[in-house]
Amino acid sequence: MLDLSLPWWGWLLMGAGLVGFIAMLVVSIRRNQGVKRSLFASPYTLWMIIFTVLPVILIGYYAFTDMNGNFTLDNFRNFWDSNYESNKVIMQAMGEAGAAYVSRGTVNVDTLVYSLWMAFKCTAICLIAGYPAALFMADRNMKLGPTLVVLFIIPMWMNFLLRTIAWMSLLEDSGLINSFLRKLGFDGVQLMYNSNAVLLGMVYNFLPFMVFPIYTVLNKMDFRLSEAAADLGCNSWQTLYKVVMPLSIPGVISGITMVFMPSVTTFFIPRMLGGGNTMMFGDLIESKFLVEGNWNVGSALSLIMMVLILISLSILRKADPNGEGGGIA
């Protein structure tokens, strides 16, 4: 049974994190013209403390401790070698003779690499499909632009789980696509429970997060720049390549970040459309917490994922220091 009680130094660490957060809040208040304006952010501050700061501190605590609350780095060794615990038992029981039975497990690392590769493909497809869509929606000469914006937003009103389950009714063996193929005289095809089905579900769910940041930047762009490029002799393709695309880079970077990181950590899509035949890093973290009950290793994997997110956000910050690429106009 997992012991969720914290030692004295765990409470001390949590208190230090809260004090640090309050100190940053005080500095922010002093920089923003006193307390009166900052009082409006009090509900959000309380929400951040309870549901963001404290959970992150707890994840850090469990990541660096064992089941007994003692400091250890074995949780991170378990990430590099998924057989670490079993190998340690073998070596303790058999000594040097057990070296012949020891082998490094690559499940965790392979799962991360696979997740990164799937996220890369999802991001690339979303960028290739989303940039022309955003360009079309932001075109001032296209009267259908606002209508397309609404059409992209409407599916996002539906629950994420329902959107994914809806694809099952299309792709399964007795689904609409296979039923249609059989009526045409063709044999049914295996569309579910493979990597392609997972990739399709990821692209469908995350495509709006690529389109809207790019659309926001393009919509804010001064159309007179394109007119100036045309006056200087640029044709439509040269204007797109030399003017529009460079100015849309902040939106592209924002879209890549908003698609790539959720793609790495997603777990419901592989479970439903992959049928358990594919495991991504989010599934691995979930299984550590809910199936194995190993909060320590699960927290270490979550911490590794947080580091990747911070790296992604730092890249976004450098490419878009003014935050011009985010949001939905």
For the segment 13-55, what is each residue's pLDDT rounded down to a tens digit? Answer: 777 777 777 777 677 666 665 555 656 666 777 777 778 888 8
Whether 131 and 218 map to the same domain: the answer is yes
By the 8 A CB rule, do 156 and 208 touch?
A: yes
User: Which of 63, 83, 105 is at the close of a domain?
Assistant: 105
Whether 292 and 310 map to the same domain: the answer is yes
Whether 29 and 143 map to the same domain: the answer is no
The distance from CA 30 to its chain's CA centroid, rounded to whole angstroms, is: 34
Question: How far apart, in whole angstroms, are the C-alpha atoms of residue 119 and residue 70?
Answer: 35
pLDDT for 193: 87
Predicted confidence (pLDDT) at residue 288 exceeds the cutoff of 60? yes
Q: What is the residue range of 80's domain?
A: 73-105
Q: Which of 76-85, 91-100, 145-154, 268-277 has the lowest mean pLDDT?
A: 91-100
By the 8 A CB rule, do 277 and 194 touch?
A: yes
In a domain, 324, yes or no: no
Question: How far apart, in whole angstroms, are the C-alpha atoms of residue 62 and residue 3?
Answer: 11
**124 band by pLDDT with thresholds 50, 70 and 90:** very high
Whether 61 and 126 map to the same domain: the answer is no
Whether 149 and 257 map to the same domain: the answer is yes
Reference 308, options 58, 116, 53; nearest CA is: 116
In a domain, 326, yes or no: no
Q: How many domains does the chain have?
A: 3
Q: At 277, which CATH number?
A: 1.10.3720.10
Work out the percent of the chain whose per-residue pLDDT is above 90. Answer: 16
Whether 97 and 34 map to the same domain: the answer is no
Longest dimension (CA), the chain: 81
In a domain, 325, yes or no: no
User: Which of 105, 124, 156 is at the close of a domain?
Assistant: 105
Whether 85 and 119 map to the same domain: the answer is no
In a domain, 329, yes or no: no
Whether 119 and 256 map to the same domain: the answer is yes
Whether 50 and 133 map to the same domain: the answer is no
In a domain, 131, yes or no: yes
Q: How many Cα neighbours within 13 Å face the side chain of 280? A: 28
Work out the percent of the chain whose per-residue pLDDT is above 70. Answer: 87
State pTM to two decimals. 0.80
In a domain, 327, yes or no: no
Whether 30 and 156 map to the same domain: the answer is no
Whether 77 and 186 map to the same domain: the answer is no
pLDDT digits (tens, 9 = 90+) for 69-104: 888 999 999 998 888 888 777 777 777 776 777 787
In a domain, 245, yes or no: yes
In a domain, 53, yes or no: yes
By the 8 A CB rule, do 265 and 89 touch?
A: no
Whether 211 and 297 map to the same domain: the answer is yes
User: Which of 105, 129, 158 is at the close of a domain?
Assistant: 105
